[in-house]
Amino acid sequence: MTQAEDLSTDIQQRIEAKIPNAQVQVIQASDKHYALIVISKTFAGMPQVKQHQLVYSAITELMTGNDAPIHAIDKMDLRTE
Residue ranges and CATH numbers for the domains of the chain are 3-79 (3.30.300.90)
Amino acid at 36: L
Predicted pLDDT of residue 62: 97
Predicted pLDDT of residue 10: 96
Mean pLDDT of the chain: 95
Predicted pLDDT of residue 1: 64
Predicted pLDDT of residue 31: 87
CA atoms within 13 A on the CB side of 55: 27
pLDDT over 90 (residue 4)? no
The candidate with the shortest Cα–Cα distance to 11, out of 44, 42, 36, 43, is 36
Residue 35: strand pairing partners: 27, 75
Q: Quote the CA–CA distance of 26 and 12 in Å, as a whole number.
A: 7
Predicted pLDDT of residue 60: 97
Task: Indicate the pTM of the whole model.
Answer: 0.92
Q: Quote the CA–CA distance of 62 and 41 in Å, as a whole number.
A: 25
